[in-house]
Structure 1
Amino acid sequence: MKTIKTTVLLVLFLCLTCNVSQAQQAYQIHQDNVRPSKFMEYEKIAKEFNAACVEHNFQGTWYTAMSNDFKYFYITPIENMAELDERPFADMAKAMGDKFGDMFTRFDKCYDSHGTYIVVRDNELTYMPEDKADAPADENYRKWFYMYYTPENAKKMREGMKAVKEFFTSKGSKSYYRVYRNGFGQMENYYMVSISAKDEIDSATRGKANDELLGPDRWEVFSKVMNYTSRMEEYSGEMRPDLSYAPKEE
């Protein structure tokens, strides 16, 4: 029995590794669920941490996002699962001594839970201009739509997502979006649609114009996804360049 369990786990791990390597881009996400009463203190520490990374020229990169319910997401591109075994802050922690640990002790007082997992960008379902991969630099506002589904509906859900992309393409929609799916470290299946804009007003204006362009037929197409969605969550938020980090170029 023990041998069977070990074999199953190995197969699952290999499948996950293949899924990440065959995708264009996977991301390691560290999520901090910050208490509303502590978010100002949290931001102060986060900026201190970024300053320390600059001082020690930490050789890593991440993008930071914040949702309207005070969740902070530190998004690091990864090439493969092996990168999860690395200890990128080891040298910096050694150089900083007790100051490094003290900083994270202060962090821990600002949230009730946090964790790390992987998401994978699904380029087959993403709808963007052919010459663009990411949102424009001046569009930091975000709307995020999480659409959860059960394993039995995985095929129908994907077919529905493809139908939506084809519909947007046929209409020449300018409302672009990127699609991400759950990866290693998450129990539920979902697609997350990320839509960028300059601000909340710009987002609402674009959304209304897109609804008019797509017309009433959009509901029939959207139903191909919604009919197989077990639940849906919608969040607004923003990218935080001030809390993002990249090492200085040589």
Structure 2
Amino acid sequence: MKTKLRNVLTFTMLALFSSALFAQGSANQSYWVHEDVVKPGMMAEYEAVCKELIGHMKTHNIQGTGWITTNTSDNRYLYVSPIENMSDLDKPVFAELSEKMGKEAMGALFARMDKCYDTEQDYIINLDAELSYQPGGINQTPEGQNFRKFHYLYVTPGNRAAVREKMKAVKDMFASKGSKVYYRVYRSGFGTRGEFYMVAVAAKDAVDHAQMSAANQALLGEDGGKVMWDLMNNLLSYEEYTGMMRPDMAYSPSN
């Protein structure tokens, strides 16, 4: 049974750094991800409580904290914060909000949120700039592109080197053809379910993504198809999810 304290501590670990770090992350930045698997019938209430929390954060202008948020088509909400090392997870940065809005009020807020999901997970992923293809520089939140496709490429210890080489070949193909489909690659880290690469592709919406994909397929041609198939043929398994960035559920402190 989860407790109010556990929920407070979980969100404390989320809100570690200013969201200014998100736009142009370092080459191999690590991120703490907190994932809530929300009950389908509780999504509206869950979002209302989360936005209420953010409202309190803004009212009290809580400093030194920040996160970006995405939700996926399978009812998962992911809160992402950059970390420098594991010791960053112990920083009690949520204590400021508890002091300003009151411990009981904050506990009641999290208790309402607690009813909206039965499963939550916490893990670390690592940006892999070497495998990412974003010629203008790494940017997690390109303006006007809140739609996301998340591709999970699962590997085994025995074939991780081969998969990495295949992914390099894909990037080289995109670069040589001047592809306009940009993507960021993240490696699984501590606490993830299995070993994987996650490829995130941004677009304006589902229609824009479909048009981009069709144009890219035509651009890469048969050679591109062979390179992609060579990669897929070396994977343990593959999963694809649709998502949306949620700036309305993100937080960044005012100066």
Determine if the TM-score, normalized by the shorter chain, exceeds 0.5.
yes
Q: Does 1:49 align with 2:67?
A: no
How far off is 1:121 after superposition?
0.6
Structure 2 match to 1:82:
87
**Root-mean-square deviation (CA), in Å?**
1.4
Supply the distance in 1 between the matched residues of 2:34 and 2:164 (Cα, whole angstroms). 26
Equivalents in 2 of 1:171, 1:135: separation in Å?
Answer: 24
Q: Residue 211 in 1 paired to residue 217 in 2?
A: yes
How many Å apart are 1:111 and its aligned residue?
A: 0.6
Q: Secondary structure at the match of 1:184?
A: coil
The alignment partner of 2:121 has SS state of strand
Please show how residues 90-239 of structure 1 align to structure 2 within 5 Å.
90-95=95-100, 96-131=102-137, 133-239=139-245
The residue that corresponds to 2:38 in the other structure is 34
Mapped contact 1:157–1:224 kept (Cα < 8 A): no
Percent of aligned pairs with the same amino acid: 45
The one-character-per-residue Cα deviations of 1:134-184 (angstroms, maximum 9, x if unpaired) are 442110000010011111111001011101000111111111100011111
TM-score, normalized by length of structure 1? 0.88
Q: CA deviation at 1:132?
A: 5.0
Q: Displaced runs of 4+ in structure 1, greater than 3 A?
A: 130-135
Gaps of 5+ in 1: 1-21
3-state SS, counterpart of residue 158 of structure 2: helix
| Aligned AA (2:54) | N
Residue 73 (structure 2) aligns with: 68
CA drift at 1:86:
1.2
- In 2, distance between residues paired with 1:64 and 1:136? 14
Aligned residue identity for 2:71:
M
Q: How many angstroms does 1:112 deviate by?
A: 1.3
Q: How far 1:91 moved relative to its partner?
A: 2.4
State the TM-score, normalized to the length of structure 2.
Answer: 0.86
Contact 1:23 1:120 in 2 (8 A): no
The structure with the larger Rg is 1
